[in-house]
Amino acid sequence: MPSEETKERIIKAVELGRTVLHYSWIPFIIYVGYTRSSPQPSLIKLISPLA
């Protein structure tokens, strides 16, 4: 069994990972899709529902 200190550290790391994933997941998909798609779409098309 890990010690209390290690446990604290793991919980903190999981919490940090969760926050990072929460804020970066959708920007990350858009970045990957934007850079990899062919032909590259225009940025306004990406965000606006009407364009």
Partner 1 sequence: MASSPLLTKVESPLPPPAPIQPVSGSPLVNLYNRFASWRTSLGLPNPGSVENLQKEVKATHLTNYMFDGFRADLSKALSVNPMFSVTHSFALGSQTAAPSYNFGAMFANNSVFMQGNIDHDGNVNGRFNQGWTADSVTKAQYQLSQQAGHNMLQLEHDYLGQDYSINIKAMNPSPVDTTGIYLGSYLQSVTKNLALGFEVVHQRQTPEMTESTTSYLAKYTSTDKNWIATATVQPMGIVQATYWQKLSEKVDVAADLQLIAAPVRRDAIATLGAKYDLRLSTFRAQLDSTGKVSALLEQRFAPSFVFTVAGEIDHFKNSAKVGVGVMIESPSMSPEEMQAAMQSPPATPF
Binding site for partner 1 (CB under 8 A): 2, 7, 10-11, 14, 17-18, 20-22, 24-26, 28-30, 32-34, 36-39, 41-42, 44-46, 49, 51
Nearest-approach distance from CB 16 to partner 1, in angstroms: 12
Residue pair 2/10 in contact by the 8 Å Cβ criterion: yes
Nearest-approach distance from CB 8 to partner 1, in angstroms: 9
Residues 8, 13, 18: CA angle, nearest 5 degrees: 130
Helices and strands (DSSP H and E) totals, the chain: 2, 0
